[in-house]
């Protein structure tokens, strides 16, 4: 028996590295799609937002949730509407209407969302780099922050000292978890280059995609700079070079925001009208 997120599909694509042109042997194949849930989810009390496969390699979104995320210019969502035709696995007439209307979701919000996703990657790189070059030698102790035993607990000299200890403890716990759970392939990259070059490849991709959206009003999913990005993945940039380039790309993205022809916010009214129309056609 097929579930409704399979039978009620309107659009399904290959996403991620395969769609970017950045896949290599052994790369995951990520599938993303949009469905319209059955009538009782649309008109009744039941709710459905998305289905995610056990291996997390396939996610099917309800049209309503997908559209909300697209209006927010979520990078992982907006790109689904712009994959190249060979990466479209399934599309029906409702999916074609959604894809044809994709530009209504674009706005200057791309500057904030693509930058935020990129910087999240950068912060992870920076944190892991610190752990590689200067790993914490031992867990923090309350005594090191001025605390003394008091009635079975520790009494700190002030709240700042206690907060500093808690932060150091979190840092230690995160370091231990990172060591324990490291992906072997990522660990190899970090050992060889001093940072995760795959994260670097994707953060630079995000910043460049954000710039293209603001300047051209287009989302280039299949990367025209794939060769260069793969060279970044292979260690083209030293750690300090990466930080400097990210700073430059961020500045350019901010500058483009001022001059972009895109509207400040997406066309929410048009998006809502589209969702209503597709739901109505589905229910006929």
pLDDT at 117: 95
Percent of the chain scoring above 70 in pLDDT: 100
pLDDT of residue 233: 96
Locate the domains of the chain by residue range.
Answer: 4-105+266-283, 109-259
The pTM of this model reads 0.88
Domain 4-105+266-283 in CATH 3.10.620? The answer is: no
| Residue 229 binned pLDDT confidence (cut-offs 50, 70, 90) | very high
Tokens 């603001």 map to which residue? 214
pLDDT at 151 over 90: no
Tell me what pLDDT residue 25 has: 87
């Amino acid at each position: 028996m097929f579930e409704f997120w399979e039978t009620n599909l309107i659009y399904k694509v290959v996403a991620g590295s395969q769609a970017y042109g950045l896949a290599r042997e052994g790369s995951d194949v990520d599938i993303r799609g949009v469905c319209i849930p059955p009538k009782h989810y649309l008109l009744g009390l039941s709710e459905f937002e998305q289905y995610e496969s056990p291996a997390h390699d396939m996610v099917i979104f309800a049209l309503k949730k997908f559209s909300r995320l697209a209006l927010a210019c979520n990078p992982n969502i907006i790109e689904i509407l712009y994959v190249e035709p060979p990466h479209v696995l399934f599309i029906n007439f409702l999916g074609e209407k959604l894809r044809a209307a994709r530009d209504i979701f674009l706005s200057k919000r791309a500057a904030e969302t693509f930058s935020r996703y990129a910087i999240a990657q950068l912060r992870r790189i920076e944190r892991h780099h610190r752990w590689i070059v200067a790993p914490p030698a031992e867990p923090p102790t309350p005594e090191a922050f001025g605390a003394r035993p008091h009635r079975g607990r520790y009494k700190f000299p002030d709240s700042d000292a206690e907060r500093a200890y808690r932060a150091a403890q979190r840092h230690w716990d995160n370091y231990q978890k990172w060591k324990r759970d490291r992906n072997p392939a990522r660990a190899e990259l970090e050992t060889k280059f001093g940072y995760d070059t795959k994260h670097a490849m994707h953060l630079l991709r995000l910043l460049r995609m954000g710039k293209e959206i603001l300047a051209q009003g287009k989302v280039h999913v299949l990367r025209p700079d794939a060769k260069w990005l793969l060279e970044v993945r292979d260690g083209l940039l030293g750690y300090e070079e990466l930080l400097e380039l990210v700073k430059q790309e961020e500045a350019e993205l901010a500058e483009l925001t001022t001059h972009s022809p895109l509207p400040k916010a997406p066309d929410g009214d048009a998006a809502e009208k589209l969702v209503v129309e597709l739901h109505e056609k589905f229910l006929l």
